[in-house]
Amino acid sequence: MRSFKDMNIKLIYDTSTSNIVDELIVPLLARSKKYYRGVGYFSSAWLGLTFKGIQQFVLNNGRMQLLTSPQLNDEDWNAIVNGEKAKTDEVIYKSICKSINDFDTTTKKDVLNMLSWLIADGFLDIKFVVCKNIVGNYHDKIAVFEDCKGNKICLHGSLNDSLQATYNGECVSVFKSWVNGQVEYLEGHFENFCELYNNKNGYFEVYDIPNMLKEELKKYQSSERPYLIENKKRETIHLPEYIKELHDYQNEAIKNLIANDWHGIFEMATGTGKTITAIEATRIYIEMNKRALIIVIVPFSHLITQWEKVLLDFGYQNIVCCYKRTKTWLPEAKRAVKNFNAKLQDVACLVTTYKTASSDDFVTMVQSVNSDAFLIADECHYIGSTIYSRVMVKNINVRLGLSATPDRWLDDEGTHKLRDYFGKIVFEYDLRTAIENKFLTPYEYHPIIVHLNTQELEEYEELSKKISRIVSINKEIEKGSAAEILLIKRASIISQAESKKETLKAILTKQVHNKCIKHTLFYCAKGESKQIIRLLADLNIKAHEFVYDVSSNKREELLLQFDRGDIQALVAIKCLDEGVDVPSTQIAYFLASTSNPREFIQRRGRILRRSKNKSKACLYDFIVMPEIQQNTLDDDMVKIYKSIISKELPRFAEFSYNSENKYEAHDTLRPYLRSMGLEYLMDLLPHEIYQVLYNIEFSKT
């Protein structure tokens, strides 16, 4: 299906210079999956004017939600607003029938046949808006179109949906969701529409289409639809055209999931095709069981569109993206679940975030699913946390977790909950195997040693003493406790060490001279992205922030510019940690990272994806180490230095282990560890290193 971005769309359309229906509305409908329309006056004759667009809209399996105003006299209005519910349907019915009778015979027969079929097939849902003020009417003219990729276009102006409107002097303004400065207008109009559609605007009362009107329209319904229609009940799910067949390891993963009664976790290195493997598993499940409600949960909203795109590539059509404001997605999601339970639809997909999936509305809706629900938890380690544990709904009978690092860092209870819900790890595909089999790019690892200055070291020491005193009393470090707050503050000293910026500038100055700066990522500490951007700008490096307040559309644009080389570097804090594909990345600088392996493993995964003209990746890791000591240190200072090493060494152990220059990297760090009597830590795993040094730091003296 074509996207709105393929169109050359003006900002303003005027009937004096443009045929708005043919030039704008018909092409938009033909590219749409969803159409939201609020209009003061709607004539079904409009369906005849837009038939070409409606025909393709139906083939797209589109859904149209229409709000319009019935033409009421004072008596009718009084009957409705005074709460005479028994009369409401009759009043609206008579109002619409009067409009029908005003049509000429030919128009009535053709367009009412189409109107009746659109309603019967579920392509069109009409609601009627009545103003609570007797002297007023619902008179807005808002249209929002949405294509298969989630792009939206909003039209706002004076144009009604009628034949007469094409003769009038009318004008509409156009707002696009992917253009900065326009998206705010679009979202404002769309939010108002959704609020009204769900009858949450106190100025109006909204009524569903009366059953008697549906019956009246059936009188005009011919034996055959006036449009072509595809089989709505059974969607053809298939491998995308760009995938001829799965790799053997992906097929093995699916076989293992089936053998474990459709429960399990895929522990697969980032970049090895977890998404494709998971969706192919859903295809096989549907092939075996004939139906499924697919529920995909992701950690961040920008991953929703990525999953939606791949689902569409597989041939899924009935996809509801559940995020942002509840009132924009909940009615559609409920309708999808209701239709699935009633077996009106064999396949439906809900794609959402962990935050939304944990909400009362989403949990209640999912609990109502009768059977054949298939849950995919992307980066499933999130689901073990206390705030997201509600996602683990018991009536979902097929459960698949995906993660390169499924175990939760220092959270045995959360890991146990995760394993208890999904079952065992049914398939593993580690980084080394993926590199050896050429599914990921080999990489060099260059640890860059930096030191804390005197002020930073003194502050680190003071915080460490406070933490030690609290822990010696309370033993456990609870979330939100004073100890945890101090730990976060202390960690920021390492993340924001001043010497990192000085060393980075020296390294980049040489690389700029050698023209080596391209396709480069910089991971920095919270609050430092602008400082790094200024540093890069001073070296004439074209860079852009990739942080939380950059819109989804802007992120997509930045990634394209980065891929083309128009932007040499991206500076991120956390937004590039999980799920974002940046395969063209060749160099990465880790200026800041936590000791949690999940974070730095995910970040490395962004860099190792294969790409054209990319044979190797380079990773520069800024590691804070104590300066090599010539004198004997007292016990307190030994603990301080070992505490610093405990935060940095797990990342070094992970990165160096699978690098092409492992022993060279070890030689860089060895003198610092030897001076502290910690050389034996070189060969331990990340969590083993942390545990050893954690026990040293918090042991009683």
Of 376, 409, 436, the domain-final residue? 436
Q: pLDDT tier at 80 (50, 70, 90 boundaries)?
A: very low
Nearest of 533, 641, 515 to residue 587 by alpha carbon: 515
Q: pLDDT tier at 627 (50, 70, 90 boundaries)?
A: confident
238 in a structural domain: no
Q: Is-contact 333 322, C-beta < 8 A?
A: yes
Nearest of 194, 177, 173, 150 to residue 32 by alpha carbon: 150
The mean per-residue pLDDT over the stretch 509-537 comes to 87
Task: Please give the residue that has the higher pLDDT: either 690 or 198.
Answer: 198
pLDDT value of position 233: 42
Range among 102-106, 300-304, 305-309 rated most confident: 305-309
Query: Domain holding 418: CATH number?
Result: 3.40.50.300
Q: Is-contact 31 3, C-beta < 8 A?
A: yes
Token code pair at residue 5? 């971005």
pLDDT exceeds cutoff 90 at 595: no
pLDDT tens readout for residues 268-277:
998 899 999 9
Q: How far apart are CA 576 and CA 116, in angstroms?
A: 49
Q: How far apart are CA 221 and CA 224, in angstroms?
A: 8
pLDDT value of position 630: 64
Token code pair at residue 257? 């999931």
- Residue where the block lists tokens 């998404």: 275
Q: How far apart are CA 253 and CA 258, in angstroms?
A: 9
Of 436, 462, 495, the domain-final residue? 436
pLDDT exceeds cutoff 70 at 85: no
pLDDT value of position 700: 43
pLDDT value of position 258: 96
Same domain, 561 and 688: yes
- Enumerate long-range contacts of 278-282, CB under 8 Å, 24 or more apart: 278/376, 278/378, 278/400, 278/402, 279/310, 279/311, 279/314, 279/376, 280/239, 280/246, 280/250, 280/254, 280/314, 281/253, 281/254, 281/257, 281/400, 282/237, 282/374, 282/376
Among 104-118, 128-142, 531-545, which is the least confidently predicted range? 104-118
Whole-Å CA distances, 433 to 144, 272, 336, 378, 684: 48, 10, 41, 21, 20
Q: pLDDT tier at 265 (50, 70, 90 boundaries)?
A: very high
pLDDT value of position 249: 96
pLDDT value of position 109: 67
How far from the centroid of its chain's Cα atoms is residue 310's Cα? 13
The mean per-residue pLDDT over the stretch 301-330 comes to 88
The mean per-residue pLDDT over the stretch 187-213 comes to 83
pLDDT exceeds cutoff 60 at 336: yes
The mean per-residue pLDDT over the stretch 171-191 comes to 90
Taking residue 200's Cβ as centre, other Cβ atoms within 10 Å add up to: 11
Q: How far apart are CA 672 and CA 623, in angstroms?
A: 11
Same domain, 566 and 613: yes
pLDDT value of position 96: 58
- Residue where the block lists tokens 């996809």: 319
Same domain, 12 and 142: yes
Mean pLDDT rounded to a whole number for the chain: 84
Q: Between helices 360-367 and 326-341, what is the axis angle to 10°?
A: 10
pLDDT exceeds cutoff 80 at 55: yes
pLDDT tens readout for residues 342-387:
887 889 999 999 999 999 999 999 999 988 999 999 989 888 788 8
pLDDT value of position 696: 60
- Residue where the block lists tokens 């949405």: 146
pLDDT value of position 479: 67
Q: How far apart are CA 90 and CA 331, in angstroms?
A: 26
Same domain, 457 and 357: no
Nearest of 317, 248, 235 to residue 277 by alpha carbon: 248
Taking residue 662's Cβ as centre, other Cβ atoms within 10 Å add up to: 14
Q: Is-contact 197 73, C-beta < 8 A?
A: no
Q: How far apart are CA 695 and CA 674, in angstroms?
A: 19
pLDDT exceeds cutoff 70 at 84: no
226 in a structural domain: no
Which residues, including other chains, have CB under 8 Å from residue 149's CB and lie 6 or more apart? 3, 305, 308, 309, 312
Same domain, 421 and 462: no
227 in a structural domain: no
Nearest of 224, 259, 262 to residue 114 by alpha carbon: 224
Nearest of 573, 572, 569 to residue 540 by alpha carbon: 569
Same domain, 395 and 483: no
Q: Is-contact 268 253, C-beta < 8 A?
A: yes
Same domain, 406 and 450: no
275 in a structural domain: yes
Nearest of 249, 257, 265, 299 to residue 282 by alpha carbon: 257
557 in a structural domain: yes
Same domain, 549 and 641: yes
At residue 621's C-alpha, the angle toward residues 618 and 626, to 5°, is 150
Of 196, 218, 240, the domain-final residue? 218
pLDDT value of position 218: 75
359 in a structural domain: yes
Q: Is-contact 490 456, C-beta < 8 A?
A: no
Q: How far apart are CA 467 and CA 487, in angstroms?
A: 7
Task: Please give the residue that has the higher pLDDT: either 630 or 562.
Answer: 562
Q: pLDDT tier at 568 (50, 70, 90 boundaries)?
A: very high
Query: Domain holding 42: CATH number?
Result: 3.30.870.10
Q: pLDDT tier at 158 (50, 70, 90 boundaries)?
A: confident
At residue 57's C-alpha, the angle toward residues 54 and 60, to 5°, is 155
pLDDT value of position 228: 79
Domain hosting residue 161, numbered range: 4-218
228 in a structural domain: no
pLDDT exceeds cutoff 90 at 145: yes
Same domain, 273 and 135: no
pLDDT value of position 576: 60
Same domain, 213 and 278: no
Among 25-39, 181-195, 621-635, which is the least confidently predicted range? 621-635
234 in a structural domain: no
Same domain, 579 and 682: yes
pLDDT value of position 88: 56
Same domain, 295 and 201: no
pLDDT tens readout for residues 93-123:
566 565 545 444 445 567 778 888 888 888 8
pLDDT value of position 83: 45
Domains of the chain: total:
3
Q: Is-contact 497 454, C-beta < 8 A?
A: no
